[in-house]
Chains A and B, each alone.
Chain A
Amino acid sequence: MGNILSLKNIVKIYPNGVMANKEVSVDIEENTIHAIVGENGAGKSTLMKIIFGEEAPQEGEIYYKGKKVNIKNSLDAIKMGIGMVHQQLMLAPDLTVAENLILGIEPLRYGVFLDLKKITKLTEESSKKFGFKIPLNKKTRDLSIGIRQRVEILKVLMRNAELIILDEPTSVLTPQETEVLFKSLKDLKHHGKTIIFISHKLKEVKLIADKVTVMRDGKVISTNDVNQLDEHMIAHMMVGRKINFKRIPGAKKVGDPLFTVKNLSYLNEENIYVLKNINFEVKAGEILGVAGVDGNGQTELVEILTGLREATSGQIFIREEDVSRFSPREIREEKVAHIPEDRMKNGVAEHTTIEENIIVDRYYQDHFSNKNLFLDWKYISKSSEELIKKFKILTPSSKAAILSLSGGNIQKVVVARELSSNPRIIIAAQPTRGIDVGSEELIHNLLKDARDNGIAIFLVSADLDEVLKLSTRIIVIYNGEIVARFDDVNDITQRDLGPYMLGVKKKGE
């Protein structure tokens, strides 16, 4: 069967200079389910926006059904038969399902009035045809997310889409809802549709896709039949770093528990339990690694531990002190350092200088300012320059803007600040995500030294190699729960962790 869509050498550079797609070429075969996987920031979403006409590439060609096309906007794409279901659903909450479905293609009477009968008929027919059971007359706002998503898919189908793009459709669904979705997707395939399915949940990819394209760092690593690969091979291609797999020497002196979490749960705005009854402790002088596929509650957990988010229930202790309700400043005063998972969102203010970024947790302390009133820029520059030297940050001066640094050097600024705050607990989330091997090595060594100095380290990483390399003990998180604990990591390999991370296996507590 032929290709419905071919992308050739797509290059996309955003106005901020980030090259999101580097010469990407992909062929999508007609009547298949084609998964595109990759870590956050690998360029998947950008590529999809290009296909759907929401972003224009600088270079490259798009062929649809064998013809070269120029997709200027999403209306063009819809006319051609391309439909997209975004991660954030785009429905009018106050309209009924039927009204949402016919939005923009309303059947009219006398060219002015809505033809209500025809609307009912049309929407009923389509939902029957594709086997979607949806309450057509209910307001969208009263429906669950799973059903809303089905409305979106049906909406796309009613515009005669041949090629349907689903951007991380399962990220908002419960496992049961996911099952229903997958059944629908298989039905759609039988109806002759082609589906592009974006995900980073590999189990789902194995389950549903025919072909899989792995993207990393803006490039396509490979496109294969799904049954030629197993989850580990895909994961390896996704993360892609050279496996420089040598575990660091084990912890020498593990002390008393410094950091204890008891029965922590978190219910998010959508009333989904993102964290369920989390319990663990981190001892002085050890690294507790959290393994897990991204999006299983790690982000929320770290935010709660650092005071940026409030837990629904449960307690956090530093030694004997309950710090559950502490503000970020109070947590930091307890000598907790935090390397955030998204350095550009939380770790830095990119338009300010290195030194202004380094002092964010200490500007009010002695030496940096005079009685928390006047900043002492001379001292700040001096201490920043020292950190730049010590942490090997490549920059002409401490007054250079963060924006002018590479990702690895920005991360070094973050790490330099956090490790120089004289912490006794370090919470490190994805400490080496998306940075070069050299910086990664440096940060790993720094964490090891911190451990050997008796600091308790809580490490969250989606990079299994990193977790295995650094951790003294490992817990595995899946769907907001700790599903496995490994106190002895010496004989543990990726293969042992995989089934737990993917929710296939669960260990009794």
Chain B
Amino acid sequence: MEKFILKYFNLIRVAIAILIGIIISVCIIYIISKEPGISLKSLFLGPLLSKSRFGNFIETASPIIFCGLAIAIPFQAGQFNIGAEGALFIGAVVGTAFGVSTSMPAFLHIPLVLLVAGLTGAFWGFIPGFLKAKWNTSELVISLMLNYVAYFIGLYLINFHFRDKAAGYLVSYKLPETAWLVQFIPGTRIHVGVIISLGFAVLVYYFLYHTTLGYEIRTSGFNINFARFGGINVFKVIIIAQVIGGFIAAIGGMTEVMGVHRRFNWQLSPGYGWDGVVVAIIGRNNPLLIILSSLFLAYLRVGGRILNLLSDIPSEMITVIQSIIILLITAEAFLANWKYKITVREAKAKEVGNEPST
């Protein structure tokens, strides 16, 4: 039993963290809601109760999956690049700009727009990566700051150069239909980008665990001294991991624009990049688990929106629940004592078996 706990400790810990988060939120709902039954139903079952809500749930998960992957690759390389938000934003801006300025058949337009967005994001990942590899600057600080740079440059480009003045609010021109991603389930906005995100998750999984470059990335992340000792070019790995991350985040932003809004309409940074950090951590940087954690987070998000519409509880509640869960999962010390006690017992049992060794 104790061996089992040690082996699956992280999974057990995540499950307990989620459970505690849910229990706390149920308690809070009971305290502040006049109709706790309806509130609980909206929050926990809401996303399943109609086709369009279910569609919302799936469609919300897609950019989160992209960003989770975008964060997971640098994280696996031991690089704490949290620039997915900026890469997603600037990638979508430049991709949109390219999309509205060109016209060609769809089979060319769609991949080209995605590619332009992706390359922009890749450049956004290259900056902190190169600075880290060359001068050992903190990729965390640089990528965080670049998020603001991306946000303001992006707004400038959209609002001053690609703004659709015919629309009543601050948005870009509409993308030509040749650059739309099809919404293929009637009654929902589930679009081809969702499938692309799942495809990317599988691809990234294969990339990390079955290619030599993926091996280099993971090995550098586990022990960079060992990687260098074995002859891996860690300079290259540090940069490439962040370049790929930026690329994927930007594709995520672009598919959202091409599949849902069909024009760039973000005046606030959408926050998917931060969700990406969250799902990457919950999914332990494993692309397949990131699909699950993204669905989990999207479910909570949509449930929160429904809760906000149909009950007397503000959707901020959801942020509280998420925060509790994430806090518990990321707090290394949570349940660490429990694990430590088991470890101590195991170590002692082993020691008894080994005596005397002198």
A residues with CB within 8 A of B: 13, 15-19, 22, 58, 217, 219, 221, 240, 306, 308, 327-329, 331-332, 338, 340, 345-352, 356-357, 359-361, 363-364, 369, 372-375, 377, 436
Contacts and interface: CB of A to CB of B under 8 A. Distances in A.
A331 B229 CA distance: 11
Contacts of B230: 328, 332, 360-361
A151 B15 CA distance: 51
A15 B222 contact: no
23 contacts: A13-B348, A16-B343, A19-B348, A217-B358, A306-B229, A329-B233, A332-B231, A340-B229, A346-B226, A346-B229, A347-B229, A349-B223, A352-B219, A357-B226, A360-B226, A360-B227, A360-B229, A363-B215, A369-B212, A373-B213, A374-B210, A374-B211, A377-B210
B232 A360 contact: yes
Interface in B194-212: 210-212
B96 to A, nearest CB: 34
A482 B347 CA distance: 42
Nearest to B213: A373
B340 interface: yes
Contacts of B216: 363
A361 B222 CA distance: 16
Nearest to A11: B348
Contacts of A360: 219, 226-227, 229-232
Interface of A is mostly: loop
Interface residues of B, number: 30
B211 A373 contact: yes
Interface of B: 210-213, 215-216, 218-219, 222-223, 225-233, 336, 339-340, 343-344, 346-348, 351, 357-358
A349 B339 CA distance: 22
Contacts of A13: 343-344, 347-348
A346 B343 contact: no
A372 B215 contact: no
A19 B347 contact: yes
A18 B347 CA distance: 7
B212 A363 contact: yes
Contact of B226 (A349, A373, A377): A349
A308 B228 CA distance: 7
A435 to B, nearest CB: 11
Contacts of A374: 210-212
A58 B212 CA distance: 44
B315 to A, nearest CB: 39
Contact of A356 (B215, B231, B348, B351): B215
Given A363-B212, A374-B210, A17 B346 contact: yes
B347 to A, nearest CB: 5
B343 A351 contact: no
Contacts of B348: 13, 19
A349 B212 contact: no
A207 B199 CA distance: 70
Contacts of B336: 15
A331 B225 CA distance: 16
A369 B213 CA distance: 11
A349 B216 CA distance: 12
B172 to A, nearest CB: 39
A28 B227 CA distance: 44
Contact of A347 (B218, B226, B228, B233): B226
A308 B223 contact: no
Given A58-B344, A329-B232, 6 more contacts: A17-B343, A22-B351, A221-B358, A338-B229, A360-B227, A436-B357
Contact of A373 (B212, B231, B233, B358): B212
Contacts of A340: 229
A78 B9 CA distance: 38
A391 B2 CA distance: 31
B229 A327 contact: no
B236 to A, nearest CB: 11
A346 B212 contact: no
A364 B340 CA distance: 39
Contact of B357 (A58, A217, A351): A217
A451 B215 CA distance: 33
A364 B212 CA distance: 6
A328 B229 contact: yes
B16 to A, nearest CB: 19
B305 to A, nearest CB: 39
Contacts of A327: 231, 233
A375 B49 CA distance: 45
Q: Which of A16, A17, A308, A356 has the most CB of B within 10 A?
A: A17
A338 B228 CA distance: 12
B115 to A, nearest CB: 21
Nearest to A437: B357
B357 A350 contact: no
Nearest to B340: A15
A375 B343 contact: no
A105 to B, nearest CB: 32
Contacts of A363: 212, 215-216
Nearest to B336: A15
A369 B357 CA distance: 43
Q: Which of B210, B231, B232 has the most CB of A within 10 A?
A: B231
Contacts of A357: 226
